[in-house]
Amino acid sequence: MVETSRDGARLAPGTIAGAATSNAATLSCDPSKRFQQITGFGGALTESSAYVLKQLPEAQRLEVLKRYYDPREGIGYTLARTHIGSCDFSLSTWSLAPSPGDYELLDFSLKPMQRWLMPLLRDAHRIAGADRFKLLASPWSPPAWMKTNNQMDRGGSLREEYAATWANHYVKFLRAMRDEEKIPLWGLTVQNEPEANQSWESCIYTPEQERDFVRKHLGPTLAREGFGGIKLYGFDHNRDTLEKRADAMLGDAETAKYMAGMAVHWYVSDDYAAEARVLKKYPGKEVLFTEGCVEGGAKPGDWMVGERYARNMFGDLNAGVCGWIDWNIALDMRGGPNHVGNFCDAPVLVDTKGGKVLYQSSFHAIAHFSRYVKPGAHRIELSGGPKGLQSCAFANPDGSIAVIAFNPGDAAIDFNLDIVGEKHGCRIPAHAIQTYLA
């Protein structure tokens, strides 16, 4: 058993309390009843994260990446998300296709990514291992000249006359990453947060517009150019309107055939059941969690940040989500840099002046899942248990079982844990997360 708690434990090894007791509720695990397969866990490799980590001495920078991605020393990350073009967590606004009217994308180039972002992607890919690393990419906006408002920020929409060109832009990116950088992409989302008109890079699609872009342009283009095997996820936004977007996209057979499923963020809504409803309605499709962070700037040492992560991970995974990707892997002590002042917290904060690295409660909360639930694991049935305890369980490909429990309350909880008929008495302190291994 390993434990992280508000009172100071951080992935601390421990022992199960003792023999089962008759007066405690039993949490029962049944590995024969299996649910979704787990793709993995990871975080976002943004230009801001790349910049912040580059302010550290190289050995210290690589240590952070190893703590995340190294299969032996790290916490089990295999997934990563990055941005096609700039996002709010970039140092400035930039595009990979800057020339207006460039229908053939003759001026497309990865050059804007080379100084900060690409070294981070290369190192994460190398440290994780090419066979384990799965990179997902999302655009925050097409180039300004392709949009109705002629700017990358403040919403606007894709001009219909540029829809084919924009679809080709994804292919250009995929091909350049594979052939020039030797980092093949695992997946794409169509558009980051298509319902948000932001002061930073953004682009609005109605459900029908996103459906039609995939059906008429992006899906056929990926298939024609040899990228039909790329995992394509729609929506990439909050749970509150997930079902409406899924009905438009997955409910249309010509669109759905190109799609792996839908991607979700945690802002606005905690309606995890919406994910379960979509998965039930569209069997064979996936829901992937692709972004969550605590907004309002860096919160060094704040235990409740970790609890928010835990609550969301239990909610999403128990609803059927197949993988979980955090937002920025590292930010500075302000929660940036962010070129529009949209500062946020991150699991790793870097004191760029003092050269110190702070591993936050959120880092350890994620680790209780990512280190012990391996890619290819299946969520398994977990029933019963005491009131106030959140829990989930997984069977790994090697046959091992991981049971994760979370007590957000102010008093310790005693319970029995029954794994395949072997029952143990357990105690979880107040405000603590535990992972039990069998």
Residue range 278-294, pLDDT digits in tens: 999 999 999 999 999 99
Is 193 considered catalytic here? yes
Of the listed 3, 201, 210, 291, which one is catalytic? 291
Q: Which of 427, 283, 435 is nearest to 372 (CA)?
A: 435
User: What is the Cα 342 distance to its own chain's centre?
Assistant: 19
Q: The tokens 């590995």 sit on which residue?
A: 31
pTM tops 0.85: yes
Query: What pLDDT digit, counting tens, does each position of 237-273 carry?
Result: 999 999 999 999 999 999 999 999 999 999 999 999 9
Contacts for 207 with CB less than 8 Å, ≥ 6 apart:
244, 245, 247, 248, 249
Half-sphere exposure of 303 (CA within 13 A, CB side): 12
Is residue 42 within 8 A of residue 81, CB to CB? The reply is yes
Position 59 scores a pLDDT of: 98
Over residues 115-122, mean pLDDT? 98
**Residue 372 — very low, low, confident or very high, per pLDDT cuts 50/70/90?**
very high
Residue 18 has pLDDT above 80, yes or no: no
Catalytic member of 3, 47, 193, 201: 193
Distance CA 23, CA 3 (A): 24
Q: What share of the chain is helix, strand, coil (3-state, %, to 5)?
A: 30, 30, 45
pLDDT score recorded for residue 20: 76
